[in-house]
Amino acid sequence: MPAAIQTHALSKRYGATTAVASLDLTVEPGSVFGLIGPNGSGKTTTLRMLLDIIRPTAGTASVLGASPRSGGPALRRRIGYIPGDLRLGGRIRGRTLLHHLADLSSPVPPGSIDSLAERLGLDLSRPVGTLSKGNRQKLGLVQAFMHNPDLLILDEPTSGLDPLVQREFLEMVHEARAAGRTVLLSSHVLSEIQQAADMVAVLSQGRVVAQGDVASLRLNNLRHVRAAVAGTEPDTLQGQLERSAHFTGTVTAREGNAVHLRGTLAGGVDPFIKVLARYQVLDLAVEEPDLEESVLSLYGRPWEAPQTEEPEPGT
Ligand SMILES: Nc1ncnc2c1ncn2[C@@H]1O[C@H](COP(=O)(O)OP(=O)(O)OP(=O)(O)O)[C@@H](O)[C@H]1O
């Protein structure tokens, strides 16, 4: 089966700024593909080129077997899109707006709009201009999913959503995948990509710095930890954690008999928990690092500022 999305050397320059540099992506049909990277790494630019909202400076893209440029409305109807900078306003009610949009998309199954709105907890009777940012985002998600498109292109889809709604969104993505649809999702939130995606490309400065399946990228191994235990000495605990749990950080004695630790685990949490379990655990917090730190720990280089080059004629 041909790829749902295929790009070859896809590039976009804005004057001296290279937003996307020679991107080769293959998104298999029926998969969830995550595009992750820090602000300014080229995620939005890539998605916009796939939708022909902007045109590449160089390279080619194929979306559902067609060129975004020549695919026209027939291609567009097979895609559900939520932009990263969703702007909705005015006095029109949510339900009316969605029905107008449904006239432009592929047929929307009866009840689809209401059932999506109910799942996300969105009140369709409110004027769009009075909705909060999170509720406008929900409206954007309903319009992206309502016609069961073959391809969903979702730019930072959970921005502004509370955790319960984020979970519902992930469920919607899983269901779309189970129904054979393809999802391309951008995010700077690592955990979201890890939960949703089969394959991931990590972008930095418009270039792919890592690509593969989520498990093999091992982006989830780093953890920040804080804990307090009783029944040991700082030096003893520090030694045990460093030897057994890939711990880097500090262990100090504080008030009473509590020993406090704060640091980073480079492996899984299991050896760490097993060391702590030898003592009375008074407090424990395990946190995921941000994307930047995870990728830095893996690839040993920091995210850098967007690259600037001499402008080329015609860019
Ligand atoms: N219209 C534009 N004119 C000039 N530069 C632009 C334009 N759009 C994007 N850029 C630049 O291209 C680079 C990539 O931006 P892009 O919005 O694609 O990144 P992103 O990964 O989506 O970031 P974010 O998460 O902040 O949305 C950035 O350096 C940005 O400043």
Judge whether residue 291 has pLDDT over 50. yes
Q: Which two tokens stand for residue 89?
A: 């306003």
Q: Report the distance separating Cα 71 and Cα 295, nearest Å.
A: 36
Q: Whose alpha carbon is nearest atom 11 of ligand 1?
A: 19
Structure confidence at residue 308 as a pLDDT band (50, 70, 90): very low
Question: Rounded to 5 degrees, what angle do the CA atoms 8, 9, 12 make?
Answer: 125
With beta carbons less than 8 A apart as the criterion, state whether 220 and 289 touch: no
Q: Report the distance separating Cα 3 and Cα 293, nearest Å.
A: 32
Distance 85 CA to ligand 1 centre (A): 12
Helix-strand-coil percent breakdown of the chain, rounded to 5?
A: 35, 30, 35
Q: Is 234 exposed, middle or buried (0-12, 13-18, 19+ CB in 10 A)?
A: middle
Distance 17 CA to ligand 1 centre (A): 9
Q: Whose alpha carbon is nearest atom 30 of ligand 1?
A: 40
Distance 87 CA to ligand 1 centre (A): 17
- The minimum-distance atom of ligand 1 relative to the CA of 203 is 21
Residue 314: the pLDDT is 41
Residue 63: the pLDDT is 97
pLDDT digits (tens, 9 = 90+) for 121-163: 999 999 988 999 999 999 999 999 999 999 999 999 998 899 8
Q: Report the distance separating Cα 117 and Cα 122, nearest Å.
A: 5
Distance 88 CA to ligand 1 centre (A): 21
- The minimum-distance atom of ligand 1 relative to the CA of 47 is 18
pLDDT digits (tens, 9 = 90+) for 216-248: 665 656 788 999 999 999 999 999 999 998 899
DSSP string, 16-34: TEEEEEEEEEEE-TT-EEE
pLDDT digits (tens, 9 = 90+) for 60-77: 999 999 999 999 889 999
Q: What ipTM does this complex have?
A: 0.95
Residue 103: the pLDDT is 83
pLDDT digits (tens, 9 = 90+) for 10-51: 999 999 999 999 999 999 999 999 998 878 889 999 999 999
Judge whether residue 302 has pLDDT over 60. no
Residue in 39, 85, 190 to alter for ligand 1 test, most ligand atoms within 8 A of Cβ: 39
Residue 254: the pLDDT is 78
pTM for the complete prediction? Answer: 0.78
Judge whether residue 304 has pLDDT over 50. no
Question: Rounded to 5 degrees, what angle do the CA atoms 41, 47, 48 make?
Answer: 105
Q: Whose alpha carbon is nearest atom 26 of ligand 1?
A: 39
Structure confidence at residue 310 as a pLDDT band (50, 70, 90): very low
**Which amino acid type is present at position 291?**
L
**Which amino acid type is present at position 76?**
R
Residue 313: the pLDDT is 43
